[in-house]
Structure formats: C-alpha cells, structure tokens
Amino acid sequence: MPNEINNIIHIPQVTVQSDWIEVVSDVLRGTVASESFWVSCYRKGFTSTHGSVKVKRSSADSRSVELIGQDGVIAEKITNYSFYASCEDLGIRRAIIKGSKATFKNLHTSAIKSMDISPGGELYVTGDNDGLLKVGDTKDGSVRRELRGHIIDITTCRFFPSGQVILSGASDFQLRIWSALDGSNPVTLKGHTKGVTDSAIIERGKNVLSSSRDGTIRLWECGSASIIRTMGNHSCAVNKITLGSFPSESIFERRSDSELDSREVATNDKLVICALEDGSFSGIDLRSKEEVFTEKSYRSIPLYSCTYSSKHNFFAVGSAEGVIEVFDIRNINKDLFSIKRNDSAILDLVSIEGTGDILVGQGDGSAFQIPTDFASNISQASHEFIGFDMDPIYSIRVINNGRFIYAAGRDGKKFRKIWTKHSIIPNPEMSTVNYREKALCVHLDTRPTTKFPSCWKFSE
C-alpha cells in the first residue's frame, strides 16, 4: 500500500439552490424586484453555515444584477450567472460558482449512465438504463437518431476520433460499434462473460479496450471483431479504466522481449490504469499485457472512478466513500494528496490536460473542480458547478482543452449547459494558477413524464 495514504484532507463544500439561475432570470425579466436563493457551506469539524444571496437589479445597468450575501455567506458577482462564494467561518475563500446556460429536456425517460461528446463538440451521445442510445446536437439538444441494439443499461459510450463512429458497451456483455451518420451497427464485440463497465479507444480506433464485471480487460481489433488479448483476470469487477502514454520516467520495469500481435496498432507505448471493486487499482503495460503495479486504496473501499494525465504525470482514483487519491505515476509509493468532502461516492473523474485540474462527479449531485497542485494551496475546490439537485453524476466529459464540460446523471430528461465567453477567470485565492471557465452540460432524470418543458438559455 502506498505510504501516508491515511493523511486525508477534509475539504469544505459549497452547495447552492439548484435553480438559482432562474431566480436571477426572474429579477432580470422584472417578474420580481428582488429574490433570494440559499447557499449552504459544510466542513468536517465545523458548524455548517446556511446563508442566502439576495438578487436585485443593478441600479447602474438594467441588464445586470447585484448579488448580496447574507447570514455568513459572502457573494461577489462575476457575471449574471457566476459568482465567487466565501464563508469566513469555514475558511472558504472565493470558490467560483457556475450556473447553467441552457437546458434541453425530455431526451430520456430513464437514468443516463454514460455520455460522450464528439471531438469537435458538435454531437453528443447518451446511453440510458433501458439500453437506448441517442445521438444529438449540442447546440439545441435536438435528437438526430436513436441507436437500438443493447437490451439493458448502457454503461459506456464513446466517440471515435473521427466523430462519426461510436463505441458503446452495456450490461448485456456486449460492445457495439455504430455509425453516428446513419445509425448502422456494423460490428458487435462479444466475449465478456459479465456486463461491460467501461471502454477506451486507442488513438485512431483500430483497437479498443473494454473492462467488465467478469474481472477482465480485453483488447479488441475492431475490423475483425476479434479479441487480441484478455488481461487482468481479477477476482472482482473492473469498474473503470483510463488510458494514457507509458511514463518516460518511472519505477516500473518493462519487458524488452514483448512481441505485438499483427492486429495491434499504437499499443506499444500505452498504460492502462484500472479501478477495481475490491478497492485496489492496477496498471497494465499494453506492450507486454502485464501488470506493472497493483496497490490497495484507502481502507480498500470499492473504487468507482479513475483518471490519468500522462502530460502532468499523475493519476487519481475515486472511492465509494467519497475519497479521491492522487498519485505521481513516476513513483506510486507515496500519494500526492488524498481529499474528501463527504461520504457520497466519486462516480467519475476527468483530468483537464491543459491545466492539470481534476473534474469530479459525485453521488450527491455535486460537480466540482480541484487543482492538481492542491496540496500546496488552500484546501478547497476552485469551482462548483450547480444544477444537479442531489441526482448522482455518472459521467463527465471535457472538450476544447477544458473550455467546455459536459456531465450526465440519474435525472435523464435534462441537458444543461454552462459556459462563458471569458476563457479564463483567475482565482486569487488559489496561488498563481488560472482556472478556465467551464461549460457544463447535464443530462438527467428518471421519472417518466408526458410533459415537454421548453428549453431555456441564458445570456452572458
């Protein structure tokens, strides 16, 4: 087990009324002269603060609002739909709070378990608990086509680099390859003996990886729908995998006599990191197909998420009890830092390659961002993304080097988008690092409905 792994930093959490941007919109439209929304702040060992923010129209500009923090909460406006939140009693200083720009509704009638965005950002694909995939336009949320073939919940879906082909996996033990252009399904990958849990696409997509509850990771050739190699063979489920370049500097020894299969393309320099149900995590050298490390996480709690940034030399794992552990890939014997906000599961982790920051989707519906030089800075998240209202967030995606963020969760009928034309907002309380403003799309809801709510958008 890595050393000093029990030194968990308990960081504070800022929660905001999920529809606070509607409060702002009511004031801007003149529906009410002023209105308030609640803000609560939590930190282990401290008395929680339950305050509010009063919204009123700006006396200097009718197109703008003023935000006034109350009852222990300090609010400083950034834009009409973002602000800094501080709470001196809990040591929270200027966390950036972001609201959503648009919502597209009624896209699914059951929980969305997986989602992806095409590399160019034009299309989304979502997969729900009923085995249905939908491909649509990120500009207005309109559905272009439905992909039917899986018979039970979709656990993973990803665009190939071309943006025209989709890989999906489900609890029906299968992976399918689809055309995003016409919805055809020319290839089905069969071989797992239990449900597929995750997938990864290797460079252009000649080969793909999949993980499963059967404890294996499989390397496939897409063209022939054949298994090149079965790896792992764990006694428990492999819940998540993440793929990156093998570190140029590391303590791992690599076999020099490994021969690649003729069906393999671009696997020679890759490392796969796996998050396991038994609380362990492992790394597999794709050249040799052998594990180069296996370690136990904090308290051996099941791991539900992982992310790897080869550019920034770290990987992170997230547990069922809300712990995020971050390690230096060059020396995993000591974790860089471990943090926790509450006991809700960490369901997804994504690293932003441009900044090295980590985005987190949690079981309590919170989405937030932490910097990877976190240990040397103030102990808090830099950004909080609001709009999920206690619904678990299963999937987060990042495009344009962190400028746009999309997320999906249990609430399957809403698709929310947060963005700003300001590319960077510095947080003076977070050292000298600049944090990009993000876009957040949320696709959520499990309850069926006969209504079709209208879409809503917000101006800058």
For the segment 394-445, what is each residue's pLDDT rounded down to a tens digit? 999 888 877 788 888 776 555 554 433 233 333 444 433 332 222 223 322 2
pLDDT of 374 = 59
- Per the structure block, which two tokens stand in for 143? 């559905």
Verify that 62 and 107 share a domain, yes or no.
no
Candidate ranges 122-126, 225-229, 432-436; pick with highest mean pLDDT: 225-229
| Same domain membership, residue 178 and residue 91 | no
Considering only CA atoms, which of 391, 352, 412 is closest in space to residue 126?
412
Domain annotation covers residue 426: no
> Of 40, 65, 98, which marks where a domain is finished?
98
Domain span including residue 312: 103-415+434-457
> Which residues are bridge partners to 426 per DSSP?
434
Residue 161 lies in a domain: yes
- How many domains, in total, are found in the chain? 2
The answer to whether residue 2 is domain-embedded is: no
- Find the range with the poorest average confidence among 48-57, 246-255, 268-277, 424-433: 424-433
72 and 135 part of one domain: no
Asked if residue 192 and residue 64 are part of one domain, the reply reads: no
Average pLDDT, the chain: 87
Residue 25 has φ and ψ, to the nearest 5°, of -65, -40
pTM: predicted TM-score of the whole model, two decimal places: 0.89
C-alpha torsion angle, residues 352, 275, 166, 129 (rounded to 10): -110
Shared domain check, 176 and 56: no
Is 420 a member of any domain? no
H-only helix segments in 231-324: none
Residue 438 lies in a domain: yes
